[in-house]
Structure formats: structure tokens, C-alpha cells
Structure 1
Amino acid sequence: MKLTLRQMQIFLNVVASGHLTNVAKEMKLSQSAISMSIKELENILGRPVFDRINKKLVLNEVGRAFHKEIDPIFKKLTDIEYEFKNSENKGMIRVGASTTIVDYLMPSIICSYMSAYPDVKITLKEGNTQEITQMIQEGSIDVGFVEGFVSGSDIIKEKIGIDELVVVTSDKNLCDTCYIDELADKRWVLREEGSGTREVFLDYIKEKVDNLNIFFELGHTESIKSILMNRECLTCISKISVENELREGKLHQVDVKNFECKRDFLMIYHKDKYHSTLFEKFLFFSKKLMMQMLDNESKINFKA
């Protein structure tokens, strides 16, 4: 498309005024610049749009048809420009989050945010920590919420909370007090490689367990819980993801001695990400709300 917004603007101003001199003065351009813009527009369209009558430009039949089409489009573009220049709470934010956070924290945060800022659209992508980090590096999302280890000098990381990992099972016979190495030969179901939950757990036990009997790997926490409730096996999982099952007696926390496996929940974004007012507001809102939710969870667990 060769036609420019500047040419549209000049054309519409000439239509309204009829005199190049007036338009040039109003737009702070030379009369020759205005005249050249009109000629370029007519060359693009392949036909004149004005009749030159008594030193005045008057729309001809082609110009009237062109004006009818272009006037509402230009006004709409002007309205959009004004709206975005003068509205800090309008736009789209692309969010990514790892599975645990997507399932148990982000829905409440996003619903609360969109209630407060109804003109903001949120898109949410799910993946493991490694996948979300890659999305940040590729620029396919604006901000990510993950747990575990995040590498890369181009990634900004902000700690927003602490998550506790617990060993759980549906088999009460496995719930007696023991050390983690005594459970190594039992059947374990873990998240897939790249999962923050898996990486933190395996790193935590690497000096105590030489070989963990991993018989199944799954890509989603809910799938792991389903397996646990139908097979005699163990997993290490975020406590916030199994609170209901523990409370209802569907799953049981194993009393593992000297086992305090915790990890940071992180908010990440690219170091070169432009921080618009809208982006900054979302960071502040989501960070504050997630910290409150995690704090409330820890208080409930403490009372329990």
C-alpha cells in the first residue's frame, strides 16, 4: 500500500478548506509540500480527485467517492490514536505460567485483574518452567510465572513467594516416618523433564538418593494425582496442589524425616521488555495478589 496517513490527512484538510494556502498554514507546511502530496495521491489512484476551478480545488466525482470511503477510516484511526495515547488501561498482556501456578493461582489473579481493568485483555499460555522461559526469550509472551531454576542473563527474575514441596501417596502403608533414601526403591511418578517441580525435588535429594525408581512421568499435576489415587506409588508435589486431597483423606502426606524441600515462585520477563504503564500495573497487581495468596496458604497450613 503506497497511500500514507499523511496524504489522507492532507487530502481531507484540503477538502474542508479548498485552499492550499490555508491548509499549509494550519499544518505548518509549505504550500508546495501540500500541492506535491495531492499530486502524489492522484498518481497513486491513477486519476485526479480535484477539479481546479477559479484557483480553488473542488472535489470531482472520483474525489467525492474517495472522500466517502476515506473519511470514516481516518476518523477511526484518529480516535484509536487518541484513545491509546490517553488511556493507560487499555491493551493486551500475554502471560505464561507453569502448570502449578496456572492451575492453582493464576485463574484468581487474572479474574481479579480483569474485573479491575475491564478494557485489558489477558492471554494465558501454560508450559513447564523451561518452556515458559523459552517463550520469554523468544518474545512470544510478556511475563511469566514459574518455579524452580531459571537460567539466562537476558531474563529478569523477581521472587514473589515460597512454595513447599511434599511427598504424598494414597497408600497409608507408606506413610510411616522414614528417611527419603528408604523410599528410593518404591514406585515414583514425577513430572516430565523441564518441570520446575521435578528439577527442584531431584536436586534436593541428589546427595541422599543415588537412584530413584521413577516408573512414570506425566506432564500435568492433575494427571499425577489421578495416578496416585489408583496405584500404590509416591510423588513429590506442591503442597498447594494437593491441599483438598489431603484434607479429604484421598491422599496422605508421608512423614519424611529432615525433608524441607522448598522453592521460589518467580516472576520473569526479558531484560529488554518495554515497561509500559499498563505492563507495570499488571506486574504490581499480580505480584501483590500472588504474595497475598501464598501468605494466606501458609497461615492456613500453620494453623492446621
Structure 2
Amino acid sequence: MRMKDLEIFLDILKTKSPTLTAENFKTTQPNVSIIIKNIENTIGSSLFERLGKRLLPTSKALLLGGLWLEVVEGYYKSLEVIGEEGMFLGEIRIVSTHTIGEYFLPQILYEFAKEYPKVKVISHSHNTGECLNLLKKGEVELALIEGEITKEYAKSEGLIAEVLGKDELVVASNDFILASKPRYIDELLDKKWILREYGSGLRDKFLNALGDMGKEIPVFLELDRTNAIKDLVITKGAISVFSKIAITKEIQEKILFPIEIINVNLERNLYSLKRSTQLSSALLLKFEECLIEAFMAIAKS
């Protein structure tokens, strides 16, 4: 049975007249009679008592009417929901590098969830290499990473890369005297350096920015969590490099002190990547639009 057949059946329960129902649905009385007869054949019993031009519903017809009214109302409610949300209904799977996932995304995801409560965003954090691997395997629809990605590299991997925004890396220590003036990197080679693990976009950017001196950094310890590194720099007097957003509070509270490194550019891009072959959806495009707007707002703040 079609949804329209159920609607005609429900209307007959109210009008008790094939003629009036035909007028309501802008069809003919014979068509209405055929639809009712087909429903009765499907059910296997008569649903109306014929009294001249009137149709009186049986108890079974009234029972079915209550059940089918819920079906019809549910159907139109689903269309209403889809219409109201502009097709923004479903699930998005994303992956991000740790700094983005910990310091940029939470606020963005919160605002997106408020605006589109029927969308579920599943988000995980990994290092750059694993993010790209998950994206290429089709396990996520979007990867947000900190590592340097050229358009040529992205194309060779079957990916599309867009710049989301910019980020600044900061070398930091708990020693305010050390941070009291700009330093050459070789002035810091006697410190206990704690860096992120291999595959980290932050680590790669920092060491690449140092050029040949990057090979001279004495890595005392490697950890895969920014907060763990931050705690050791604060409590043990070690030194490390962070995304500036990750230590903004500590800098303001004078717990950590940024050290300006002479002749080293520590600015980097943040990227959004997706597969070049994946089908676009209104939902994913809307999420990307919200991401871009959020990062633009961050850049202005």
C-alpha cells in the first residue's frame, strides 16, 4: 500500500463518503472505491458497511485507522525534520592531529552541535601520519592536520588539501631569565628537550624549520601528549616547543615563558583534507563551512 492509499483510507473514516474523499484528494470516486477495495483485499476482510452512498467503518477499520494514523504522521514528521534541517541529518567521522583536537576543535564541535543537534560528529585524534592513513583508507571523511602538506603531495595521495588557518609554534621554558632575550637555537642545546613522537606534525615543522640544526637537538624524551610534555617543562625545568594556543594560559599566568628563536620561522598552516574521489554531501560541506568560519574568527581574535 502507498502512503496516499493510507491517507485516503483515513479520510474515509472521517467523511464516510467516497465522493467527499475524492473531492478532498482531487481524484474520482471510482478511484477511491478501488483503493478501498484493494486495501480490503490485502487485509482479507471487509472494512466498511455499505449503506447507500455512505461507508460505515467496522471495528477492524477503526483499529487499523489508529495504527495507520501513527504511520502517516510519522512519515510526514520525518519529512518535516529533513526539511527543517536542510538535509543536515546524519553522522560525520573526522580525525585530527592532537593540537587541533585538543585546543581548536572542542569549542567548534560544541557550537556545531548546538546549531545542528541531529548531526553526530565522531572525532578522534592521532599524529599526522595516522590521520592521513585513516583518511586514505576511507575510515574518516575529513582529516584536520598540522603537518605541512603541499598541493602536489596531496594530489599524489589522492587527496584535496585546503588551508584552514595558521598557527604559531613557541619554544617555552619555566625559566624567565632564559626567556628574557632572543636566543640562537645553539644556545639551547644544553637543555633537556622533550619533543612529540615521530610522525607528529608539530615535531616535523619545528625540526624542519631549524634546518641542519634540527639534527643537533638533544632529544631527552619523546611523548605523544602535549599536556604531559607541558607538565614536565613546568615542573622539571625541561624545554619544548608547543603550539602557542596550547600554552596561552600558562604564558598569561607566567608559569611558562616563550623564548624567541633568532632567524627561525615557526609559523605553520593548519589543513583540512578529504579524498578527491569521495562524494560531497550537504552535511559535510556545511561542517567544512563552519570550520572555516571558526578558524577565521580565531585568526581575528
TM-score (normalised: structure 2)? 0.72
Aligned residue number for residue 281 of structure 2: 275
Q: Match for residue 240 of structure 1?
A: 245
* 1:69-120 deviations in Å (ceiling 9; x for gaps): 23213311222113313542853563544332233333443444556x3655
Once the two structures are overlaid, the 10-residue window that deviates more, 147-156 or 254-263, is 147-156
Question: The residue matched to 2:214 in structure 1 has which SS?
Answer: coil
Q: Deviation of residue 226 (structure 1)?
A: 0.8
2:299 maps to which residue?
A: 294
CA-to-aligned-CA distance 1:130-166 (integer Å, 9 cap, x gap): 4444454455555443211454644322112221112
**Matched positions, count:** 283
Equivalence for 2:108: 109
**Residue in structure 2 matched with residue 3 of structure 1 by the alignment:** none
Distance 1:189 1:24, change over 3 A: same
How many angstroms does 1:52 deviate by? 7.4
Provide the identity percentage.
22
- Aligned residue in 2 for 1:301: none
CA, structure 1 residues 244+264, in 2 after alignment: closer, same or farther (shift >3 Å)?
A: same
Matches within 5 A, 1:223-262: 223-262=228-267
1:264 offset after TM fit, Å? 0.5
Instruction: Tell me if structure 2 keeps the 8 A contact 1:166–1:236.
Output: yes
Identify unmatched segments of 5+ residues in structure 2. none
Distance change (3 Å), C-alpha of 1:74 and 1:198: farther
Q: Residue 221 of structure 1: which of 223, 226, 242 is its match?
A: 226
1:216 match: secondary structure: strand
Structure 1 alignment gaps of length 5 or more? 1-5, 43-47, 297-304
Any conservation in 2 of the 1:52–1:58 contact (CA below 8 Å)? yes
Flag the 1:210–1:102 CA change in 2: closer, same or farther, 3 A: closer
How many Å separate the matches in 2 of 1:58 and 1:205?
A: 88
Give the whole-Å Cα distance in 2 for the aligned partners of 1:75 and 1:250.
60
* Inter-partner Cα distance in structure 2 for 1:36 and 1:213: 86
* Corresponding letter in the other structure for 2:168: E
Equivalent of 2:165, from 161, 181, 189?
Answer: 161
User: Structure 2: which amino acid aligns with 1:230?
Assistant: T
Change (3 A) 1:68 1:49: farther
Q: Equivalences for 1:56-67 in 2 at 5 Å?
A: 61-67=59-65
Work out which of the residue numbers 203, 209, 212 in structure 1 matches 2:214: 209
For the structure 1 residues 24 and 139, does the alpha-carbon distance in structure 2 shift closer, same or farther, using more than 3 Å as the test?
farther
Inter-partner Cα distance in structure 2 for 1:199 and 1:289: 26
Cα 1:284–1:214 change in 2 (3 A) is: same
Instruction: Give the Cα–Cα distance (whole angstroms) in 2 for the partners of residues 237 and 37 of structure 1.
Output: 72
Structure 1 pair 265–33 and aligned structure 2 pair: CA distance change class (3 A): farther
**Contact 1:146–1:265 (8 Å) recurs in 2:** yes
Q: CA RMSD in A?
A: 4.1
Query: For the structure 1 residues 267 and 26, does the alpha-carbon distance in structure 2 shift closer, same or farther, using more than 3 Å as the test?
Result: farther
Amino acid at match of 2:147: G
Which amino acid in the other structure matches residue 104 of structure 2?
Answer: L
Distance 1:234 1:228 in 2: 6
Q: Is the 8 A contact 1:190 1:198 kept in 2?
A: yes
Change (3 A) 1:41 1:254: farther
Residue equivalent to 1:45 = none
Summarize the Cα distance change of 1:137–1:61 in structure 2 as closer, same or farther, 3 Å threshold. farther
Mapped to 2, the partners of 1:64 and 1:154 lie a distance apart of 59
Q: 2:245 & 2:58 partners in 1: Cα distance?
A: 71
List aligned pairs for 1:1-304, cutoff 5 A: 6-7=1-2, 9-17=4-12, 26=27, 38=39, 41-42=42-43, 48=44, 50-51=46-47, 61-88=59-86, 90-92=88-90, 94=92, 95-113=94-112, 117=115, 119=117, 121=119, 123=121, 125-128=123-126, 129-137=128-136, 141-150=140-149, 151=154, 153-172=157-176, 175=179, 178-181=183-186, 183-184=188-189, 186-205=191-210, 207-210=212-215, 212-271=217-276, 272-276=278-282, 279-296=284-301
Cα deviation, 1:239-290, whole Å, max 9, x if unaligned, reads 22222222332112234222112210122334324231x5444433331231
SS of residue paired to 1:274: coil
Q: Output the amino acid matched with 2:71.
A: I
AA at the equivalent of 1:221: T
